[in-house]
Chains A and B, each alone.
Chain A
Amino acid sequence: DVKVTQSSRYLVKRTGEKVFLECVQDMDHENMFWYRQDPGLGLRLIYFSYDVKMKEKGDIPEGYSVSREKKERFSLILESASTNQTSMYLCASSLAGGMREQYFGPGTRLTVT
């Protein structure tokens, strides 16, 4: 079974802190994605990566950055956390190709106070 793990299920941070969310997949997938999920807005793509050290902006990249130094690991970085970044963050991975299913991690519920 494909397994996508995220470093924390729940996280509470203060405004202005630098926050790191880690995602690891164990199936040698080329593609990795970071989404945020908010009530009434659904899932929105923040960043994605098709290869190591490669990144592409999604629909809402402002306030975020990413890092992919190894194929299995994709990190989301909030440079200076703000209260409007309180959300559920979901990581996903997939093989290359348009038909490929995305496998999601369990999510990290981030609260910024």
Chain B
Amino acid sequence: KNQVEQSPQSLIILEGKNCTLQCNYTVSPFSNLRWYKQDTGRGPVSLTIMTFSENTKSNGRYTATLDADTKQSSLHITASQLSDSASYICVVRSNQAGTALIFGKGTTLSVSS
């Protein structure tokens, strides 16, 4: 069964610290993986997309990694800011015809001062 598991479920860190969010998936055949950021009361916004051949991709202080062999991805946030407080959602697309996106349940990050 196609599944996307994210950990931790929630995380609290101090402003300025780094953190890493994990995403493990069992989706096959794999097409791509996106990380979305969802601020409270808003819709998700894409941070980055990873394809099979990509290992690392950065978007400012956000760096996503992908290990297609172990089917794991991580999102690393550097020098966290209060505005990073949000839910981060990992979404995987399969190449299988008729398969929609498979969403993880998200990690809620709280950055405190």
Residues of A within 8 A of B (CB): 4, 40-45, 48, 58-59, 90, 92, 98-99, 101-107
Residue of B nearest to A35 (CB): B103
How long is the Cα–Cα vector from A67 to B44 in the complex, in angstroms? Answer: 23
When chains A and B are docked, how far (Å) is the Cα of A105 from the Cα of B42? Answer: 7
Given contacts A90-B44, A99-B31, 14 further A-B contacts (CB under 8 A): A4-B43, A42-B103, A42-B104, A98-B95, A99-B32, A101-B34, A101-B49, A102-B101, A105-B43, A106-B41, A106-B42, A106-B43, A107-B42, A107-B43
CB distance B89 to A101 under 8 Å? no
Q: Which residue of B lies closest to A109 (CB)?
A: B41
- Is A43 in contact with B89, judged by CB distance below 8 angstroms? yes
Q: Are B31 and A98 closer than 8 Å at their CB atoms?
A: yes
Contact status of A48 and B100, CB under 8 A, knowing A101-B34, A106-B41? yes
Q: How many A-B residue pairs have CB under 8 A?
A: 44
Give which listed residue, A4, A43, A103, A107, contacts B103 with CB less than 8 A.
Answer: A43
Say yes or no for B45: interface residue by CB 8 A criterion: yes
* CA gap between A101 and B59 in the complex, in Å: 15
Size bracket, chain B contacts: 20 to 34
Chain B residues in 8 Å Cβ range of A48: 100
With contacts A48-B100, A58-B100 known, is A41 near B105, CB below 8 A? yes
Cα A59 to Cα B101 in complex, Å, equals 11
- Take A42-B103, A42-B105 as given contacts and tell me if A104 and B32 are in contact as well, using a CB distance cutoff of 8 Å: no
- How far does the alpha carbon of A40 sit from the alpha carbon of B100 in the complex, in Å? 20
Known contacts A40-B105, A42-B89, A42-B105, A98 near B32 by CB under 8 Å: yes
Closest beta carbon of chain B to A88's beta carbon, Å:
9
Contacts of A59 in B (CB 8 A): 100
A99/B49 in contact, CB under 8 A: yes
List A contacts of B51 (CB < 8 A).
99
Distance in Å: Cβ of B43 to nearest Cβ of chain A: 3
Contact at A104–B100, with CB atoms within 8 Å? no
Specify which of B41, B43, B95, B106 is in contact with A104 (CB 8 Å cutoff). Answer: B43
